[in-house]
Each structure stands twice: as C-alpha cells, then as structure tokens.
Amino acid sequence: MTDIIHIFTLLKEIDRCFAALNGTPLPFPDNVSDKYQWLHAEAPFSILAHKAETPPRFIYANSYALSCFKYTEAEIIGLPSYQSAAEQDREERERLLQAVTKNGIAYNYAGPRIDKYGHVFQIYDGIVWQLVDEAQNSWGQAALFWTDARKRPEWYPI
C-alpha cells in the first residue's frame, strides 16, 4: 500500500483545487473526525486523479473508486486513465477532459466506464476539475462521481 501520509497530502491538494474552483471543499458528513481518512476509505462516491502527462496516468483512487473499477491500488496507480473508458467511449471522455482544461471544472457528467474485467458500469453526477499548483500551473485533473443515479446521503449538497 502506498504511504498513507503521501495519500493524504495528495488528497488535501485535490481538495484544495476542488474548493478553489467549486467554492466549497469536497463533501463529507459533519460527524467525521478525520475528513481525509473518510474521503479515502469510506466515501460513498469515487474520487480519482490523474497526472498531466502523455498519456495521463492515475495517481490517486479512493476505496470506492477501486471497488468500481475492480483494481487494487497497486494496479490502478500508473494505469493510463483512458483505460477507464471503453474504446468507443474514449472520444467523449477526451472531449470532457479538454473542456475541463479550458474551463477549470465541469459538472453533471454521466456516462459509461469500464472495469478491469471489461464490464461496463454507469457513472452519474460527475464533477471533473483541474489540479493546479499555487502558481496556477496545471499538474493533473481529478473527478468525483457516483454509481447510483439518485441515491445521495442527506448531508450531500445537491
């Protein structure tokens, strides 16, 4: 398993970028004592990030994302992120990522994704945002998505 301090440092940066673009940090319930532990291990939605390189490769996936894609942490880190979509869906995914590069953030994305075994699943209410450092240099992109079209906890902002 990747060093937990590194994971939480990365997750804090993903959250900082989300808050800068969205106006609020990544969502979590009030009764959580360790936000980043909860987001990493218990969140009922996926959080993923890939690094800005060619091709972009995953650098982070929370536990829920790992369960959706059926990869272990060791398998998904370094995997080209285009492999999260079936070949016929990659053009649409690329258009979304280009829009995020241009606009900083995109909301309400839904579409098919593919797991390690080639099984297709749907994602809903996706938010994809640009990851930038303090000098506004892009270093990647992150995503939050749900796998259920309607079910959300009462604490989740709609």
| Pair 126, 144: CB distance under 8 Å | yes
CA 141 remoteness from chain centre: 8
Q: Is the CATH number of domain 4-146 3.30.450.20?
A: yes
Burial of residue 135, with CB atoms counted within 10 A of its CB: 0-12 exposed, 13-18 middle, 19 or more buried: exposed
Segment 1-40, tens digit of pLDDT: 458 789 999 999 999 999 999 999 999 999 999 999 999 9
Rounded Cα–Cα distance for residues 23 and 96 (Å): 21
The pLDDT of residue 148? 92
Q: Which residues of 31-61 are buried (b: 16+ CB within 10 A; e: fewer)?
A: eeeebbebbbeebebbbbbbbbeeebbbbbb
pLDDT tens digit sequence for 97-129: 999 999 999 999 999 999 999 999 999 999 999
pTM for this structure? 0.93
Tokens of 108: 């309400």
For 89, the token pair is: 């869906």
